[in-house]
Amino acid sequence: MVATLHDVARLAGVSFKTVSNVVNDYPHVRPSTRERVLEAIRTLDYQPNLSARSLRSGRSGVLSLALPELRLPYFAELADEVIRAAERRGLVVLIEQTNRDRKREVDLLSSARLRMVDGLLFSPLGLEPEDVELVRIDTPLVLLGERVFHPAVDHVTMQNVEAARAATEYLLARGRRRIALVGYHPGEVIGSAGLRFRGYREALEGAGLAVDERLLGVAELWHRQQGADAATQLLDSGVHFDAVFACNDTLALGAMHALTGAGRRVPDDVAVVGFDNTDEGVYSQPALTTVDPGRRGIAECAVDTLVQRIADRTAPVRQTAIDFSIVQREST
């Protein structure tokens, strides 16, 4: 069977609390006693019961990461970085997929499971602005993304508007004037789609151009299929365009596939810029120019903020926007 503090204590001839003190590096333990206890721990291969420790101390050493879908490369790479950042702090990560479903996201915020973890990193995609009060929960929480802001809740975000404006300006600077947007969500204001559209619009207006509605390629989901579909519709509509700014890399790759399949050359006929700097864009054909939103910095900052929040619930709220950059490759 599995050894407990009591078993170790019996073998070492001390009280079980002394063993606990050794395990927790309590200073006032005589070196000889400590050595005897450590020896017994080795002999019995003792390992603390984390459920008991968690019950008693209220800390589990587990963070929860809630995101839409792990199969989306952006989130897979984000989760990768979050797990690494957590591990550097001795924490492990439990992952929940919400499938961009509002109900699942709402339920998550009041789930019993939440009380088993020390904190939650939450990247919502389904929550609506009117749900904002739901994020006032007892569990330490750091929000990721742009969907929901609450002045009293820690937040880490990328600079969507600024980065999208920079990407569009980058295309304008290369002489492109008919820039299509792929991934448009009509009417959306606060989500990634809304914000990136705003950056796109600001850049165009800054160059004295108006947004041409015919160049807005709607794509509800940001998967490859939708990117390809949006590009195909743009082509079929007959409207002229010489560049595509896609709201993420996955859309961009889908769009690029459709463009190439229809005989358009990238970047000669149509330049393509993505968003996210996921691995898949590095070796696509052609390699994808994209916005690096600072994913690694987001993960690191998010975990850091959450750990701070766990340590001190009354610390001032931290809301951070991470720096971005444009990664130039072959598609422009």
Q: Which residues bind a second copy (CB under 8 A)?
A: 2, 45, 47-52, 54-55, 60-62, 69-71, 73, 76-77, 79-80, 83-84, 87, 92-97, 110, 112-113, 115-116, 138, 223-225, 227-228, 253-254, 256-257, 260-261, 279-280, 282-285, 287
Binding partner at 225 among DNA, a second copy, none, C-beta below 5 to 8 Å by kind: a second copy
Does position 42 interact with DNA (CB under 7 A)? The reply is no
Query: What is the SS3 assignment for 315?
Result: coil
From candidates 10, 38, 53, 101, binder to DNA by CB under 7 A: 53
Does position 44 interact with DNA (CB under 7 A)? The reply is no
From candidates 44, 48, 76, 321, binder to DNA by CB under 7 A: 48
E strands in 110-229:
119-122, 141-144, 154-158, 179-184, 216-218
Does position 29 interact with DNA (CB under 7 A)? The reply is yes
Does position 92 interact with DNA (CB under 7 A)? The reply is no
Does position 41 interact with DNA (CB under 7 A)? The reply is no
Residues linked to residue 239 through DSSP beta bridges, in sequence order: none
Q: Kindly compute the dihedral angle of the four CA atoms of residues 280, 286, 289, 290, in this order, to the nearest 10 degrees.
A: -30
The two tokens of residue 124 are 């919502």
Q: How far is the CA of 264 from the CAs of 231, 261, 279, in angstroms?
A: 11, 7, 24
Instruction: Give, in degrees to the nearest 5, the angle at Cα 235 between 244 and 176.
Output: 35
17 or 88: CB nearest DNA: 17
Does position 278 interact with DNA (CB under 7 A)? The reply is no
From candidates 21, 98, 111, 232, binder to DNA by CB under 7 A: 21
Query: Minimal distance in Å, beta carbon 13 to DNA?
Result: 7
- Other beta carbons less than 10 A from residue 152's beta carbon: 7
Burial class (CB in 10 A: 0-12, 13-18, 19+), 191: buried
16 or 149: CB nearest DNA: 16
Place of tokens 């750990």: 307
From candidates 26, 129, 220, 323, binder to DNA by CB under 7 A: 26
21 or 226: CB nearest DNA: 21
- Residue type at 175? G
The two tokens of residue 169 are 């300006």
Provide the CA 329 distance to its chain's centre, in angstroms. Answer: 24
Place of tokens 């989901």: 221
Classify each residue of 238-270 as buried b or exposed e, where b means 16 or more C-beta atoms within 10 Å of its C-beta.
eeebbbbbbbbbbbbbbbbbbbbeeebebbeeb
Does position 11 interact with DNA (CB under 7 A)? The reply is no
Please report the sign of the dihedral spanned by the C-alpha atoms of residue 293, residue 294, residue 299, residue 305. Answer: negative
Does position 18 interact with DNA (CB under 7 A)? The reply is yes
From candidates 10, 35, 44, 52, binder to DNA by CB under 7 A: 52
Residues linked to residue 119 through DSSP beta bridges, in sequence order: 63
288 or 307: CB nearest a second copy: 288
Query: Minimal distance in Å, beta carbon 71 to a second copy?
Result: 4
Query: What is the SS3 assignment for 105?
Result: helix
Report the C-alpha gap between 140 and 318 in whole angstroms: 13
Binding partner at 228 among a second copy, DNA, none, C-beta below 5 to 8 Å by kind: a second copy
Binding partner at 93 among DNA, a second copy, none, C-beta below 5 to 8 Å by kind: a second copy
- Contact between residue 141 and residue 318 where contact means Cβ atoms under 8 Å apart: no
Query: Minimal distance in Å, beta carbon 51 to DNA?
Result: 7
From candidates 42, 43, 55, 207, binder to DNA by CB under 7 A: 55
Binding site for DNA (CB under 7 A): 2, 4-6, 14-18, 20-21, 23-24, 26-30, 32-34, 46, 48-49, 52-53, 55-57
